[in-house]
Amino acid sequence: MTPPLNPYFRFDTMVVGAANRLAVTAARAVAETPGTVYNPLFVYARPGLGKTHLLMAMGHGAAAIDPSLDVEYLTLDHFIESFHAAIASGQGEAYRKGFLDVGLLLVDDVQFLTGQRETQAELLRIIDAMQTAGRQIVLTSDRPPAEIEALDERLIRRFAGGLVIDIAAPDYETKVAILRRKAEERRATLEPGVLEAVARLPIDNVRELVGALNRLVAHQAAGESVEPEQVPALLGVKARSSANAGGDHSQREPAGAKASEAGADADIETSSSAAAAESADASPRPSPPADEFGDFLSEISATLSQQIESWRGKVAAAILRWGGEGYRTGRLELLLEGELSRDPEEALREFEADVRKLDTLRTEVEKIAPALAGSPLFRDPGDVAAAEALLEQAREGADPPPAPSPLWRLDALVESAANRVAVQAAQAVIAHPGQKYNPLVLVGGSGVGKTHLLHAVGNALIAGGLRTVACVGAEEFTGELIEAIDRDAIAQWRKRYRRVEAFLLDDVHLVAEKGRSQDELFLLFNRFLESGRQMVFTSAVPLPQLSGVEPRLLTRLEGGLVAELPIPDREIRQRVAERLLSEKLERPDPEVAAYLAGRPADSVRAVHGLVQRVLSAAEAQNAKLSAAFARSVLETSPVRPARRAAQSRGSGLVAPGIGGARSREKMVWDWPDIGDRLIEEWR
Amino acid sequence: MRAFAPSSGGDAMSLVNFAAREITCKIVYYGPGRSGKTTNLQYIFGRVPESRRGRMVSLATHTDRTLFFDFLPLDLGSISGFATKFQLYTVPGQSYYASTRKLVLQGADGVVFVADSQARRLDDNLESLQDLQTNLLTQNIDIRQLPVVFQYNKQDLPGDLILSPPELDDALNFRAVQSFTADALHGGGVFETLKGISEQVLRRLAAGEPAT
């Protein structure tokens, strides 16, 4: 696996001085336009001068500019390891090809290529392939390419073909700047002149410089004030070069120089007295370092700081990762801001567990209520309980069934002698839901206003105080049922409907021959009837003529009030026409409405069609709409529309311009209402 | 806070207390009797500024053998915002103090095994190492999971009396953990050993392993 980029190693956290300015400038150029300027870029420097920092900064910089860019950071060790693994599993070719998808390849510590002939050959192939494909490669090493022992000449030439650049040891000013930044990061305030004194010491390695600072900070934290002149002594610069009496024997010989006076048979015992130890110091042996504890403290501080930085890095990486996947990471950000106020490992484990839990919850919600799956609650590991509650709601059927369309209002419905029974029954239902007529079944032909009345009842019930009213077409009802069966979420689907306070079903005749829909409807029907909740149905087919519907359902429908919505009589037609005309015209001619009402129309929709036609024709011809005009439109051959003014508005469809075929004769500008057309054709 | 004296049967404390912003490392010097464990602690005690060390508690018999245990608390001050404390313990090496050793081992974050380099003490070293492993096991700690370093002490004795570090590695250090040569009486290798074990213990922090 590729190690992630350390989030701290960015361009803006790098102190730029004379020693690294050139390298940083080149690196920025490469990060801004990978694959175009210096390819490959080879950066070398002694350890601790910021190679890895620069490399990762390029990764961050390039990714910030182009988030889609695939950035890969590898140490050579990683490279070798994964190369060997790929070879072992017979995936060598795939491994090589994998690099062609990488936009910016960052390889650290290539000095270890020494003697790795196979790896060198593979790296050469990858560099060639990536260069050809315009991909950027950046390499770092602790020495220039020519000084890497036994490095393939071809690789040296490839490196030289790009840009080989070095980072020198920081100068005094840069060292001071680095120390100031690090002190700020550690929130340490040192006496004036202390950092400058550290910078004057012969320490060129930035890591060691930071180690020295850590040590001073540790001294200061213990309540010892640190003065500039004490710095060399406190840091033990001289002591560091003196010999130690002991140490890791893998690096040095055992300290068995001094012969003991005790006999071979005597148990030579180390004394438990501190005084003895002190007196022994007088003997001619290498004296121990001046400040062993100080050294120890300094090293421990450095190790611990590293560990704590590594925690911060882990948390920061997790924030980037989860944030990138769309999860809210406030909890982790708080952890960083709060200076790790709790165990970061545990916090990360818990965070990931919560993310997994959210995923599980979301998957379940997707099954039972897909509309809820997009809720931001499933992206907030900070509040899993809310997501759980939402799922619970979904289980209970909270995803509400379709509601009545607010466009249909009761006051927009024209009442006349013909439809009075139905309208009054609807009003009774609205006034006393579930008590007066339950169910109310509205029967009538197409376009007579059943759906309008149904939705209007639904809206009035909501206005009357019911919170949930389901108003759904029979086809949609069946469609939902099929989907619920498919998702194995039938129980949730039932709950959705069972919890509403009124159930309005349009076109109940369409459940004919649909056994399962009828079963569900039957169960629902009984529940609603028992609990006194209102049901309203519409049917385009008179109930006695309805075939394919089970008698148990049919008899129940007939058990309520069946109200007929007849073909609109002249009175309705006239009032509909009057209303529509007055909506479009400022002072409609009353004779037009009277004329239109006299035209044969078997539905309100047909009246709409007639009004639409005469309005369109008048608009097209820029004529005043009179009864005579309406007659000429409706009773003579269809009028060819006049040239259409650019700004004219019409409710008819406009065919989109197709290439050069813009012949006005062939273009249909205004389409009559489709219902109207069908009626005319039928005639 | 870790208790001053190890309590029996208590849960091991965690190395880092985030709420209190405190890191406490418990390091136990283990090894056969007279191998120089207490000497290690005494040398450290002598080198630590007074402001940084607590009172060294040594419960010794009249013959100056460690009877119960030695305890040396070190205060390293605030490091990266964490008050860092080390607690160094020794166990009594004599085989008849087995229960004390178990007690002291509880909650150890790392163990320094102080071996006596004298050839004739090899069996004692082995016995003590075995004892360490057994005692850890009774606390459900696998010795492979716990930071352990070896210190081959008394390397200042004449070469014909002692085993060389490679010989001692062969005999004792079969898991190839870090080992140090030392002359604890004069301080050689003492801090190197302490650094070695401390770094191992601290590096485990971010490795995500539960500190036992």
Choose the weakest-confidence range: A108-112, A408-412, A552-556. A408-412
Let me know if residue A237 belongs to a domain. no
CB neighbours (10 Å) of residue A228? 16
pLDDT tens per residue, range B139-182: 888 888 899 999 999 999 998 999 999 999 999 998 899 999 99
Answer whether B179 touches A (CB < 8 Å). yes
Contacts of A308 in chain B (CB under 8 A): 80-82, 206
Residues A590 and A533 in one domain: no
| pLDDT at A266 exceeding the cut of 70 | no
Residues A555 and A575 in one domain: no
Q: Which residues make beta-bridge pairs with A38?
A: none
How many CB pairs (< 8 A) connect A and B?
A: 193
The interface residues of chain B toward chain A in range 86-115, judged by CB-CB distance below 8 A, are: none
pTM above 0.80, yes or no: no
Residues A439 and A536 in one domain: yes
| pLDDT at A657 exceeding the cut of 80 | no
Nearest-CA neighbor of A402 among A363, A430, A366, A371?
A371
Cβ distance of B77 and A248 shorter than 8 Å: no
Contacts of A284 in chain B (CB under 8 A): none
* From A277, A300, A308, residue closest to B186, measured CB to CB: A277
Last residue of a domain, one of A498, A530, A564: A564
Determine the pLDDT at residue B21: 84
Contacts of A219 in chain B (CB under 8 A): 77
- With cut-offs at 50, 70 and 90, classify the pLDDT of residue A105: very high
Range of the domain at A605: 570-682
- Chain B residue nearest residue A301, CA to CA: B79
Choose the weakest-confidence range: A87-91, A321-325, A562-566, B59-63. B59-63
Nearest-CA neighbor of A29 among A69, A67, A68, A57?
A57
What are the DSSP calls for A4-17, one per residue?
A: PPPTT--GGGSPP-
- With cut-offs at 50, 70 and 90, classify the pLDDT of residue A249: very low
Residues A627 and A529 in one domain: no
Nearest-CA neighbor of A310 among B23, B202, B194?
B202
Residues A644 and A608 in one domain: yes
Q: How far does the CA of residue A102 sit from the closest CA of chain B (Å)? A: 29
Q: How far does the CA of residue A338 sit from the closest CA of chain B (Å)? A: 11
Residue A550 CB-density burial (10 A; 0-12 exposed, 13-18 middle, 19+ buried): middle
Determine the pLDDT at residue A237: 66
Last residue of a domain, one of A140, A169, A198: A169
Q: How far does the CA of residue B190 sit from the closest CA of chain A (Å)? A: 7
Mean pLDDT of A354-372: 85
Q: How far does the CA of residue A222 sit from the closest CA of chain B (Å)? A: 5
| pLDDT at A46 exceeding the cut of 80 | yes
Residues A527 and A616 in one domain: no
Residues A577 and A447 in one domain: no
A191 contact partners, CB below 8 Å, separation of at least 6: A225, A226, A227, A228
Most confident of the following: A493-507, B74-88, B105-119: B105-119
CA distance A93 to A251: 42
Determine the pLDDT at residue B120: 94
Report CA torsion sign: A119, A125, A131, A135.
Answer: negative
Most confident of the following: A94-98, A401-405, A557-561, B23-27: B23-27
At residue A249, the 3 state secondary structure works out as: coil
- Chain B residue nearest residue A222, CA to CA: B77
Choose the weakest-confidence range: A74-83, A461-470, A578-587. A578-587
Q: How far does the CA of residue A233 sit from the closest CA of chain B (Å)? A: 15
Residue in B181, B190, B197, B199 to test binding to A, most A beta-carbons within 10 Å: B181
Give me the architecture of the B16-198 domain, per CATH: 3-Layer(aba) Sandwich (3.40)
Cβ distance of B47 and A293 shorter than 8 Å: yes
CA distance A594 to A581: 11
Determine the pLDDT at residue B13: 46
- B95-99: which pairs have CB atoms within 8 A and are 24 or more residues apart? B95/B33, B95/B127, B95/B131, B97/B67, B97/B68, B98/B131, B98/B135
Residue in A249, A312, A348 to test binding to B, most B beta-carbons within 10 Å: A249
Let me know if residue A199 belongs to a domain. no
Residues A603 and A492 in one domain: no
Q: What is the enclosing helix (H) or strand (E) of A491?
A: helix A490-498
Mean pLDDT of A195-218: 84
Determine the pLDDT at residue A207: 82
Mean pLDDT of A369-379: 82
Choose the weakest-confidence range: A218-222, A543-547, B12-16. B12-16
| Percent over 70 (pLDDT), chain A | 83
CA dihedral A647, A652, A658, A662 (to 10 degrees): -60
Cβ distance of A222 and B75 shorter than 8 Å: yes
Higher pLDDT, A344 or A460: A460
What are the DSSP calls for A493-526, one per residue?
A: HHHHHHT-SEEEEE-GGGGTT-HHHHHHHHHHHH
* From B60, B183, B194, residue closest to A245, measured CB to CB: B183
Answer whether B184 touches A (CB < 8 Å). yes
- With cut-offs at 50, 70 and 90, classify the pLDDT of residue A444: confident
Choose the weakest-confidence range: A103-117, A183-197, A549-563. A183-197
Determine the pLDDT at residue B191: 93
Determine the pLDDT at residue B132: 93
Mean pLDDT of A582-601: 81
Mean pLDDT of A70-92: 86
Let me know if residue A102 belongs to a domain. yes
A619 contact partners, CB below 8 Å, separation of at least 6: A648, A649, A650
Answer whether B57 touches A (CB < 8 Å). no
Residue in A304, A305, A310, A340 to test binding to B, most B beta-carbons within 10 Å: A304
User: What is the residue extent of each domain of chain B?
Assistant: 16-198
Contacts of B206 in chain A (CB under 8 A): 307-308, 310-311, 314, 345
Determine the pLDDT at residue A560: 84
Residues A506 and A595 in one domain: no
DSSP label at residue A418: T
Is the preceding peptide bond at A192 cis, omega within 30 degrees of 0?
A: no
Residues A30 and A110 in one domain: yes
* From A277, A299, A311, residue closest to B185, measured CB to CB: A277
Let me know if residue A208 belongs to a domain. no
A138-159 exposure pattern, b = at least 16 Cβ within 10 A, e = fewer: bbbbbebbeebeebbeebbebb
Nearest-CA neighbor of A502 among A433, A427, A573?
A433
pLDDT tens per residue, range A294-343: 888 888 888 888 788 788 888 888 888 888 888 988 888 888 777 677 78
Answer whether A276 touches B (CB < 8 Å). yes
Answer whether A156 touches B (CB < 8 Å). no
Let me know if residue A297 belongs to a domain. no
Average pLDDT, chain B: 83
The interface residues of chain B toward chain A in range 8-37, judged by CB-CB distance below 8 A, are: 14, 16, 18-19, 21, 23, 34, 36
Radius of gyration of chain A (CA): 43
Contacts of A246 in chain B (CB under 8 A): 155, 180-183, 187-190, 192-193
Specify whether the CB–CB gap between A473 and A507 falls below 8 A: yes
Contacts of A268 in chain B (CB under 8 A): 118, 154, 157, 161
Residues A609 and A461 in one domain: no
Mean pLDDT of A16-38: 85
- Chain B residue nearest residue A339, CA to CA: B81
- With cut-offs at 50, 70 and 90, classify the pLDDT of residue A147: confident
Nearest-CA neighbor of A428 among A567, A568, A561?
A561
Q: What is the enclosing helix (H) or strand (E) of B75?
A: strand B66-79
User: H helices then E strands: how many in chain B?
Assistant: 5, 8
Specify whether the CB–CB gap between A492 and A394 falls below 8 A: yes
Residue B82 CB-density burial (10 A; 0-12 exposed, 13-18 middle, 19+ buried): buried
Ramachandran angles phi, psi of A609, nearest 5°:
-60, -45
CB neighbours (10 Å) of residue A374? 12
Mean pLDDT of A112-124: 84
Determine the pLDDT at residue A681: 55
Determine the pLDDT at residue A677: 56
Mean pLDDT of A34-55: 88
| pLDDT at B23 exceeding the cut of 50 | yes
H helices present in A167-244, as ranges: 172-185, 194-200, 206-221, 231-235
Determine the pLDDT at residue A675: 62
Let me know if residue A528 belongs to a domain. yes
Higher pLDDT, B60 or A474: A474
CA distance A602 to A482: 35
Most confident of the following: A354-368, A404-418, B108-122: B108-122
Last residue of a domain, one of A122, A146, A169: A169
Residues A623 and A511 in one domain: no
Let me know if residue A44 belongs to a domain. yes
Instruction: Name the domain count of chain A.
Output: 3
Contacts of B76 in chain A (CB under 8 A): 218, 297, 300-301
Q: Which residues make beta-bridge pairs with B151?
A: B114, B180
* From B14, B160, B192, residue closest to A246, measured CB to CB: B192
* From A272, A305, A341, residue closest to B39, measured CB to CB: A272
Let me know if residue A339 belongs to a domain. no
Q: How far does the CA of residue A343 sit from the closest CA of chain B (Å)? A: 6
Residue with tokens 């005469």, as numbered in its chain: A614
Q: Residue A29's domain is classified under what CATH number?
A: 3.40.50.300
Determine the pLDDT at residue A496: 81
Choose the weakest-confidence range: A240-244, A249-253, A644-648, B187-191. A240-244
Answer whether A338 touches B (CB < 8 Å). no
